[in-house]
Structures are given as C-alpha cells and as structure tokens.
Amino acid sequence: MYRGHPGMLAWVLHRITGLAVLLFLFAHIVETSMILVSPEAYNKAIELYRQPWFKPLEFLLVAAVLFHAGNGLMVMIIDFIPTPSRTYRRMFWIGAGVYAVLLVPVAYFMLGGLVGLR
C-alpha cells in the first residue's frame, strides 16, 4: 500500500496517464488516417481494437483520460484557491471515491460484453 502523501501519488499518476494518452494519440492519428487509403485498410487497422484481449486496455485508456481530467480539474482548483495539505487530503479521497463510482458504469458498458453481462 502506498504510504506517501496522496498528492505525490496523484502527481505520478497524472504523469503516467498523460504520457500513455499521448502515446495512444499518436497511434490513433495513424490508425484513423487509414480512411484515406481504403475502407479495407481502415477496417484492418481497427481490428486490433476488437480483439477480446484489447478490451481491458481500451477500458484503461478511458480510465486514464478520466483520471487525468479529474485530477487536472483538482490541480486548477488548487491553483486558484490556496488549499492546506489537510484539506487537499480530504479532496483527494473524495475525488478518488467519485472516480471509483464513475468507473463502475464505464466498466459495465465497456467490459460487460466480455463477461456476458450485456
């Protein structure tokens, strides 16, 4: 279990999710550009996303974007409203709770088919 200040954890996750989403963006630009080549080339390119083993990664991508967005909003709030460490801890855990609850329907819609829920 991570024992440091939650702000450090949030900072590390912000970096990792940002970098991961940027790497995906490069791949996404190339993969979408296949529509200029031919319908077959595009359909071939996105076949990867249809593999059952890719679905958890697709979910992680959405989860990464949502974390980055949520934490980014929190960073902006703290930019403009000076926040004591104690208050930040509370904000962090409230944010973590909201995030966890939000991921449940996302997981249901994105992964439900994989385990026969939908």
List residues near other proteins by CB under 8 A.
5, 7-8, 10-12, 15, 18-19, 21-22, 25-26, 29, 32-33, 35-36, 39-40, 42-43, 46, 49-50, 54, 58, 62, 65-66, 69, 72-73, 75-76, 78-79, 82-85, 88, 106, 109-110, 113
Task: For residue 16, give both structure tokens.
Answer: 């990792």
Task: For residue 96, give both structure tokens.
Answer: 């973590």
- 3 state SS of 75: helix
97 versus 109: smaller Cβ distance to other proteins: 109
- Cα separation of 38 and 18, whole Å? 31
26 versus 116: smaller Cβ distance to other proteins: 26
Q: Among 1, 2, 8, 3, which Cα is nearest to 92's?
A: 8
54 versus 94: smaller Cβ distance to other proteins: 54
